[in-house]
């Protein structure tokens, strides 16, 4: 079982990446495989990093032979994805948005239908737009037909929309705990829904 962490921060070693690593570490402890993907790396080198909606349905010709194509192919083999973004003006980062805007062909193929999705967001203040960012991430997942989960688990509590952290995340004990709870819920739901995914 493969679970992917998708870092929407421009910083590969920042607060968002830290929490994703915490979550993925917990996932691995439960026996699943993981991979951390950085949107910045994936979009780097693209001639058109932003979707131009040049064809409908999307031909995906703008990223043929690129890292982005390989990542989208990887999606067809994953059971779950944890999306992480810093809060930028109350919503997701430009890197996260650009990444998903390029995923029209993925949606057309129903690649992520019934894949489990969870979210985490890091703001500069305790109440710094984390919940609106989490909802934006959930909207992206819902449009792809994913199974959206929060950060609740039967041995802990029902949770909320996802992990809401305050920068610096390594000092946010609550956020670290919620990331681990989200990971446990992710593995549980991935196992429970395995039969309704078309994994190779």
pLDDT tens for 125-182 read 999 999 999 999 999 999 999 999 999 999 999 999 999 999 999 999 999 999 999 9
Count of all residues that appear for the chain in the document: 200
The token pair at 191 is 């196992």
State the average pLDDT over residues 81-95: 98
SS3 146: coil
Q: How many CA atoms lie within 13 Å of 135's alpha carbon, on the beta-carbon side? A: 5
Q: How many CA atoms lie within 13 Å of 45's alpha carbon, on the beta-carbon side? A: 9
Read off the pTM.
Answer: 0.95
Quick one: pLDDT at residue 200? 65
Write out the H or E segment, with its range, that includes residue 165.
strand 163-166
Quick one: pLDDT at residue 110? 95
Is the alpha carbon torsion for 85, 88, 93, 97 positive or negative? positive
Residue 135 exposed, middle or buried by CB count within 10 Å (0-12, 13-18, 19+): middle
Q: Which pLDDT band, with edges at 50, 70 and 90, does 121 fall under?
A: very high
Q: Which CATH superfamily is domain 2-196 in?
A: Flavodoxin domain (3.40.50.360)
Residue with tokens 């430009």: 94
In this structure, the number of other CB atoms found within 10 A of the CB of residue 155 comes to 7
What would the pLDDT profile of 4-54 be if each residue is shown by its tens digit?
A: 999 999 999 999 999 999 999 999 999 999 999 999 999 998 888 888 778
The token pair at 68 is 């982005």
């Amino acid at each position: 079982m493969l679970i992917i962490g998708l870092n929407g921060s421009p910083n590969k070693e920042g607060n968002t990446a830290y929490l994703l690593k915490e979550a993925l570490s917990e996932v691995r402890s439960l026996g699943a495989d993981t991979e951390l993907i950085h949107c910045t790396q994936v979009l780097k080198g693209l001639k058109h990093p932003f979707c131009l909606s040049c064809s409908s349905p999307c031909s995906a010709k703008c990223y043929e032979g690129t890292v982005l194509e390989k990542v989208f192919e990887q999606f067809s083999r994953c059971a779950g994805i944890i999306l992480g973004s810093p809060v930028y003006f109350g919503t997701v980062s430009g890197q996260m948005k650009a990444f998903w805007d390029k995923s029209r062909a993925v949606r057309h193929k129903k690649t992520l239908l019934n894949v489990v999705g969870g979210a985490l967001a890091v703001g500069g203040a305790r109440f710094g737009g984390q919940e609106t960012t989490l909802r934006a991430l959930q909207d992206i997942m819902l449009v792809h037909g994913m199974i959206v989960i929060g950060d609740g688990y039967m041995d802990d509590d029902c949770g909320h929309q996802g992990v809401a952290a305050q920068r610096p995340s390594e000092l946010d004990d609550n956020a670290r705990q919620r990331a681990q709870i989200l990971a446990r819920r992710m593995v549980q739901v991935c196992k429970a829904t395995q039969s309704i995914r078309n994994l190779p």
